[in-house]
Structure formats: C-alpha cells, structure tokens
Amino acid sequence: MAFYNEKVSIARDKSNNIYILYWEEGKIIYNYFNNMNGEIIENKIITDALEEYDIAIGMDGKIYIVYQNNYNHLFLATIFGEKIDSICLTVKPIPNVYNLTIALDEGEIHILYNILLEEKEYRLYHHHYDKYDWYTNIIDEIKISEVLNFFNIEYYQDGIILIYYDSSQVENIYMKKYNKKDKKWLDKLQITKNLEDKLYIDTLLYDDILHLTYSQYIEKNLAIKYERFKILEDRIVMEKEKIMSNTENCSYPTFTYFEDKLWLSWIEYDNVLSRYSEYEGESWSSIYLWNISKRSDIVRYKYCEYPFKGTKKNFNYYFGKIYPEISFIGFGPLVDVVEIPLKKKGLSMISQF
C-alpha cells in the first residue's frame, strides 16, 4: 500500500471527542466523533482557505484553527461542539504564508509562519496574543539550501522555544527562546554542527532535555539521525547522537513517548519502521517494521489533545491508517512486526566530543 503526504490533523478534547480536520480543494473539512453517543458529523467549516492551516486545542475546550483565505488575509476560527466562530486577524492582505503554525500557552495565542523575501530567503514572523493585545516580532531571516523545512515549537519555562533550519552559512538547526513576559526573542543558538544536508524535523522537550531527530544525507541517501541535548541558560550541550536507520531514503522521523518508552518512527519505502529507548535515548532497541503499514494506506497525522494541567506532551505527530479507519502505527506492543537488521556501512555509533 502507500504513504500519503497529506496534511490531516486530529484533536481530542477533554471528553475524548475526536475532531479530524483536513484541507481539500479550498475547503477545510472536519469530522466530529461524539464519544458519548457515537454520532459522527461531517462539516465544511471553511470554504475559502489556501492550503496552509494549523490547529490547536485550548484549556477552554475550543479547537483553534488558523488559516489564510483566498484574499490573503489571516483568519482565526474556533470550534466548540457544533458552534463555529471566525475572526479576521489582518487589516490588509499579506503575502502567501508557509509553515503556518498556532500554539496555545495557558490561554495565550502564538501564530508563526514564513514569508518568502526572495529566492531561497524567508522571514520568520511571530504574533503573540497575551489575552489583551497582539505583539508582532520578526524572529529571523533565514536562507534555505533547496527545501523550506518545517520548524517545531516547544514550551519552556516562561515562554516557548522555536527549533528551525537556517542555511545562511552551512545548513544547520538552530534554537531561539521567547520570553513572553518581556515579549522578546533571545539570541539564536546553534544546535546541530555538521556539514551534511538535512530534511524534516521533530522534537520533544522534557524539562531541560531536548530530543531532536531529522533525516541526514549519507552518500546521497537519507538516514534517520537522533540527537539529545541539555538546555542551559545561555547555551545548549549535546549529550548523545546516533544514526538510527539504514541509509534507505528514510523520511518523516517522528517521536512518540508511550508507556515509559521513547519511540522514534519513520517512513522507509512507504512502510513504517521504528525503534524505542527505555533510557531516554541512551540505548535503543532493534529496528522493527510494522507489517500493518505494508497492507494499509497510511498518513502522518498532526495531533493535539486537551492540555490537562500537569500533563506533558507525548508527541506532535503519529503515523496511522488513513481516515476513516484510524489507528496508531509505529509504537506500542510489538505485534505483527519484523526485526530489520542494521547494515554495517555508515552505521557505526558516532562518538561524543
């Protein structure tokens, strides 16, 4: 079967109701699954949307959707049950946005995106709503090698952290902290320090430990790379790095923290493969291929759930069967899997400095 590179988002509210949203021919469509009565509702909630959109779920129980409409205005819509509201955020049209992202932090709203300046050069924008006013910042101006990679947002102390690519010199991954009290972005810190070209990104942040993964070119092919860092006040220190896969055109590396194991899954020739660590990335299991991915059409879902106080984020995305038969693939009990051997070439453990 096949892996479909389509943007599909799933939100789970505090009553375990499920919202599935996707873009199709200028429309954002959502399917609502009521956990109490089993009712399923399909609705075309937005009919004039460009392809860039993102969702988040707030402590008020509402689903928040940010999107750009056909007239290049940014809109913010909310869904609560079957009630939908929408407001225009921009006074005048803005250029096409890329990597449009929304993050909610205790009722405060963060909207981030890229805008093209000239060939292979983009500007990163940030809009912050602190429950009273909007504040706008230019985070950075970045250059790309060939592809505009995505960025990730993590919550940290009194603000957020942005992890993103920049090829102004050599393509590497960087980090910036935002202090929401002062409404300022701090200095840029370089995370990765190698010369190889890279694609994709995923992260998980627990306390001050950052888990990072991406696809790295090795001999003109892609392998999955894992790195672990400790975030300090004014710097970031690498603690571990490892090539995780064979060099087999591996893409979309994805973290999942499940039942005290850190899983790292990826796509390899349209199949889902993964490894897990019981020791926060210190050591890893064998590679497993999930046979269900060979028999199913699969997609990588963007996932968000109700932010119960004291809970931590366990993943940003997951692989699963395509709607309507939704299921997790790539982590959990090792049933119907095949162990895949590591080829020796280019896969030795990378030593620490």
> Could you tell me the sign of the dihedral formed by the alpha carbons of 136, 140, 143, 147, in that order?
negative
**pLDDT tens digit sequence for 51-67:** 999 999 999 999 999 99
Whose tokens are 């089993």? That residue is 38
Residue corresponding to tokens 């779920």: 57
* pLDDT higher at 344 or 216: 216
pTM: 0.93
CB 257, CB 204: distance < 8 Å: yes
**CB contact at 8 A, 43 and 30:** yes
DSSP H helices in the chain: 292-295
Take residue 30 and report the two structure tokens written for it: 């959502």
**307 pLDDT higher than 50:** yes
Q: How many helices (H) and strands (E) does the chain have?
A: 1, 29
Token couple for 158: 């009194």
Sheet holding 298-305, edge to edge: 40-46, 27-33, 18-24, 3-12, 298-305, 317-321, 328-329
Given pLDDT bands bounded at 50, 70 and 90, which one contains residue 348?
A: very low
Which SS3 state, helix, strand or coil, does residue 293 take? Answer: helix
Task: Answer yes or no: is pLDDT of 1 > 80.
Answer: no
Per-domain residue ranges of the chain: 196-353
pLDDT above 60 for 350: no
DSSP state letter for 205: E
Q: Which of 43-47, 150-154, 317-321 has the lowest mean pLDDT?
A: 43-47
- Across the range 147-167, mean pLDDT stands at 94
CA distance 63 to 40: 17
- Phi and psi at residue 295, in whole multiples of 5°? -105, 0
Q: Residue 292 — φ and ψ, nearest 5°?
A: -60, -30
What's the mean pLDDT when you consider all of the chain? 92
Which of 29-38, 68-77, 237-246 comes out lowest in average pLDDT?
29-38
Which percentage of the chain shows pLDDT scores above 70?
97
Residue range 211-216: mean pLDDT, rounded: 98
CB atoms within 10 A of CB 80: 13
